[in-house]
Amino acid sequence: MSETMAMMAKHARECAEEIRKFEEIQLVSHIDADGITSAAIISKALERAGIGSEMMFVKQLDEAIVEKLADMNPELTIFTDLGSGQLEHINNYGVHAIVSDHHRPQGENKFHLNPHLFGANGSYEISGSGTTFILATQLGNNRDLADLAIVGCVGDMQYRKHGKLVSLNRMILEANPSVISPKKDISLFGKQTRPVYKMIQYSSDPFIPGLTGNEDACIDFLAKIGLQFSNDEKWRRWIDLSEEEKTRVTSSLLQYSMQNGMSSYNIGRLVSEGYILLEEQEGTEMRDASEYSTLLNAAGRYMKAEVGMQVCMGNRDGAYREAQDLLQNHRKNLVDGLNFVRDNGITELSNLQYFDAGSVIPETIVGIVAGMSHYSTGNRKLPIIAFADKDDGYKVSARGTQELVNRGLNLAEALSIVCQELGGAGGGHDIAAGATVPFGKKEEFIQKLNSTIATQLIKT
């Protein structure tokens, strides 16, 4: 066990001791896949320890929600996958709290479990679900929940930096081989559930010129390499192919990519490590950590986080079917969002690029659309900033690249500096962050963010 893991486990033990003093606990978690898996992990751990709990999911934690919580006056609140950026509010309102999170810390708290406090980076070494898994292992024998911990960090794209899970995530993965297993395979999304041609058609990371977004070209590509892609009128999925067929598709795709001007970096991304949930049924979203996390996002980001949580708690009937319906809607919204960005364009300044989705793209998914557009329409040399309308101001979502982070970019820090000057609140990670900015201050915000980022970047 690494020193960081040992230190986190030690602090988790102290948090667990505090938790055991209470019979009924308020839980607050984030609505995305990492937040939902965190919520399921802590709920199961408490249930097994005979402690009651009440769940509350929020889009983000802000002062108003902390105030509302303080009015409810729970004896103890456990925040998962959020809270680290709002410790000041939590303390000011006297909320007795355990915070199990991986966002950039702002403020202090006695029971604050966060990788940044132990020298680890919460954008790729461990997520909210992994942090909460460490807490759960101190509450009892909960190692079987490691699969949910991995689904959460995959949902937060923590594999992106190295093309696979590393550090604390890797330790959680490798220590629990009976529930979760890594597998090197084609990186495209949908291996368990989607017809092979659709898997190629919807490839966004990497973007495959000529194939991404072009259904006919994908069907043609498979026909040309002699792949019989239907069986009894049914489209075959990746898992239905033989090993020989999988190799044929992968190598033909690599060859196609080389001939069609893809960068060697992107070609390398066509094959990567995936994560299989061994106790889940083949051919379902839950078998593959990436598909599972998208299913959860499809529920949570449309205010149906409880549905996702029920799936994590084992529901394979009503909640699972509802989540599948939500997934159809989510996919359509992502495609519409990407088309909006392509059609309306992105404005470039010296140190960032931005687009404003107004009310066309829901603010809860504008960050995902910004991240995906960054691989297609966007310029990878600049961070991408997206705006979308919400009730109390503009929602801002910012996404960078590893190369920019290596040069000093820290989006969480930049957003929080600018928000301090203009009003609003922001936070997150170096490579991906978000904020709410008051109406009427968009232009000023963009200019200030552009110059703040300029001071972060070391010119190369």
Applying CB under 6 A, does 399 fall inside the site for ligand C5P? Answer: yes
User: Which region among 260-268, 276-284, 320-328, 429-437 touches ligand C5P (by CB under 6 A)?
Assistant: 429-437
* Residue 253 binds ligand C5P (CB under 6 A): no
Distance (Å, whole) CA 29 – CA 120: 22
Smallest gap from Cβ 30 to ligand C5P, in A, equals: 6
Determine the Cα angle at 91 with ends 88 and 93, to 5°. Answer: 105
Residue 182 in contact with ligand C5P, rule: CB under 6 A: no
Question: At closest approach, how far in Å is the CB of 170 from Zn ion?
Answer: 17
Alpha carbon 46 to chain centroid, angstroms: 24
Residue 439's nearest CA partner among 340, 358, 370, 351 is: 358
Q: How many whole angstroms from its chain centre is CA 460?
A: 30
Phi, psi of 385 (to 5 degrees): -120, 130
Residue with the shortest CB distance to Zn ion: 34
In the region spanning residues 45 to 74, those forming contacts with ligand C5P, defined by CB under 6 A, are: 60
**Cβ atoms within 10 Å, residue 52:** 10
Could you list the residues that contact Zn ion (CB under 5 A)?
34, 81, 127-128, 156
Q: Which of 299, 382, 377, 298 is nearest to 344 (CA)?
A: 377
187 vs 238: CA distance, rounded Å? 11
Q: How many CB atoms lie within 10 A of CB 361?
A: 28
Binding mask 115-154 for ligand C5P (x = CB under 6 A): --------x-------------------------------
288 contact, one of Zn ion, ligand C5P, none, CB 5-8 Å limit per kind: none
Options 199, 433, 437, 449; binder of ligand C5P; rule CB under 6 A: 433
Q: Give yes or no for residue 85 binding ligand C5P (CB under 6 A).
A: yes
The binder of 123, among ligand C5P, Zn ion, none, by C-beta within 5 to 8 A per type, is ligand C5P
57 or 445: CB nearest Zn ion: 57
Which residue in 137, 397, 450, 456 binds ligand C5P (CB under 6 A)? 397
**Residues 384 and 373 sit within 8 Å (Cβ to Cβ):** yes
Pick one of 29, 53, 272, 436: the residue that binds ligand C5P (CB under 6 A). 436
Give the range of 41-49, 142-150, 244-252, 427-435 binding ligand C5P by CB under 6 A: 427-435
Site string for ligand C5P, 406-425 (x = CB under 6 A): -------------------x
Q: How far apart are CA 145 and CA 47, in angstroms?
A: 13
User: Which of the choices ligand C5P, Zn ion, none does residue 182 contact, using the CB cut-off of 5 to 8 A by kind?
Assistant: none
213 alpha carbon, distance to own chain's centre: 23
* Distance of alpha carbon 99 from alpha carbon 112, whole angstroms: 5
Give CA–CA dist 217/35, Å, rounded.
Answer: 38
Is residue 207 within 8 Å of residue 375, measured between CB atoms?
yes
Nearer to Zn ion among residue 156 and residue 363 (C-beta): 156
Which structure tokens are listed for 217? 């070209």
Interface residue list for ligand C5P (CB under 6 A): 30, 32, 34, 60, 85, 103, 123, 156-157, 160-161, 367, 371, 397, 399, 425-429, 431-436
